Chain A
């Protein structure tokens, strides 16, 4: 099966969800969520069966803008997995969502809007379209196709970030994301225009050849690189373009925050890897590019970890944590590919993002349950969780341990390779910043573990003593993620063998 069928199937699935909502009268619209999850699982299985088009298929002139190599397949899998977990969370989140969409309940007390689950199906369909955009992004190898895929994702995110239109927080997050997202689009397009002007090419392979030629205009190429880097730093949330992250993450609906922090970041990094490849391969530009990346990585690690220390809102804390993880990922991006006996930067980034998906989704699944059932996003709500819901508390403990980088978890292996790569490159200052950042990370991640296991709830008789109800699909997802974090932490080769 040709690889691009996957994106087509995903888009058709999104349209199907909308059509079913329109033409079939459903008693409970959450069943559309199950339909979407089922369809995406099928595509996830199909993703393993597609043929690579790097060889003879990729050489046809018309298809030069689409490649299907191992990283592409990997990131398509990540996009699909992230979307599945996000829709699973949306099913749990649907009650809060309808409260955010509907006007105040009138005097007769009947809430028609929430009864009818207004707009719920759109909330399931939009992540599917975004997923199609992310999957295309993983394969995009041409400036136009990168741009269109990136904008499919970004515009989809504008809608779902601002989805709860009666909720001021969600709207504010939407406006902030809109302005800064559009700003980054402006930089990206201007950078693409200059890249085209300098090289005269649109296809990344041809751009790499042109940048290696001796007569390339050096200043123009560096200008294009700077503009593109600014745009992508917005997408991945690297300093100094991370300003939007805390507010948008805090204001957006919980499943959307999870999608932003995992899916959007993974998509940003796959584009970054693809676009940096020509610049890193060019001997004339390599030194400048690497030094800029190292500075950004160090600043991002330092800012993300130190700003997370005083946070009391759990979502905001994870927002800063996602900034710091972007910094660690940039450490790997900044290293050159050729070191015998060490994983390649692409493999390190891919593994790190898979680990990041597992641990972050685990944390968000649990936060989502607490948010829906206790109505609280602050760390206060987690005090004494180990007594009322030991299962959730243990799963959260695993997520936090992995995010902090405790050995035997996937998060540790991810960080380990990043540090190995930075040491190979002799970026000793960067490694020092990384160590400071990781140490600070232990403090704020384990603060949550402490409040779950050692603190007692502020007021004992309240909702905090009631166990949190976990539906069976969510329970299965949590168990799978906990097992995944340990399994790939002990046996990382199981994932990495794909890249060797």
Chain B
């Protein structure tokens, strides 16, 4: 069987859906954060697939998308660095990483 663009897009859509579902149903902030990273990976996979199958005139892949991918990875790393620092600070203040416990603000 030949692997086509649709196969890649299906897997990437699946990854995105798993990530989104994880963000919505999980309660642990760390797990939610990992699911968010999964969503970014899904986007990366689509980008590479589109780059591989949208051939340019010279017959090579479109490297625009692959460069974009490196930007996404870099930004995601920065986001994780800041995010984990905030989660650690939260844990030290409240002794919990359960999102249902983060509800001190009310009308």
CA A165 – CA B93 in complex, angstroms? Answer: 8
Whether B104 pairs with A144 at a CB distance below 8 angstroms is no
Q: What's the minimum C-beta distance from B21 to chain A, rounded to whole angstroms?
A: 12
- A183-B36, A190-B39, A247-B105 given; A144·B67 CB < 8 A: yes
Tell me if A365 is interfacial: C-beta within 8 Å of chain B. no
Whether B93 pairs with A168 at a CB distance below 8 angstroms is yes
For the complex, count residues of A whose C-beta is within 8 A of B.
44
> Residue of B at shortest CB range from A189?
B43
Q: What's the minimum C-beta distance from A344 to chain B, rounded to whole angstroms?
A: 31
Q: What's the minimum C-beta distance from B32 to chain A, rounded to whole angstroms?
A: 6
Contact with B along A242-255 (1 / 0, CB 8 A): 00001100110000
- A144-B68, A169-B104, A171-B86 given; A179·B46 CB < 8 A: no
CA A316 – CA B104 in complex, angstroms? Answer: 14
Whether A193 pairs with B79 at a CB distance below 8 angstroms is no
Choose one: A144, A183, A311; the contact of B23 (CB below 8 Å).
Answer: A183
Tell me if A196 is interfacial: C-beta within 8 Å of chain B. yes
B contacts with A: majority SS: helix
- From 149 to 202 in chain A, residues with beta carbon under 8 angstroms from any chain B beta carbon are 151, 155, 158-159, 162, 165-166, 168-169, 171-176, 178-179, 182-183, 185-187, 189-190, 192-194, 196-197, 200, 202
CA A192 – CA B49 in complex, angstroms? Answer: 13
Tell me if A313 is interfacial: C-beta within 8 Å of chain B. yes
Whether B36 pairs with A168 at a CB distance below 8 angstroms is no
Instruction: Collect the chain A residues with CB atoms within 8 Å of residue B83's CB.
Output: 158, 178, 182
CA A192 – CA B44 in complex, angstroms? Answer: 10
Please list the 8 inter-chain residue pairs (A to B) with the smallest Cβ-Cβ separation, ordered nearest first. A186-B39, A197-B50, A189-B43, A193-B46, A190-B43, A182-B36, A151-B75, A193-B47
A-B contact pairs, 21 of them (CB 8 A): A147-B68, A148-B75, A155-B79, A165-B93, A172-B103, A173-B105, A174-B86, A174-B90, A175-B29, A175-B87, A179-B32, A186-B39, A187-B39, A190-B43, A193-B50, A193-B65, A196-B47, A196-B50, A197-B46, A200-B50, A246-B105
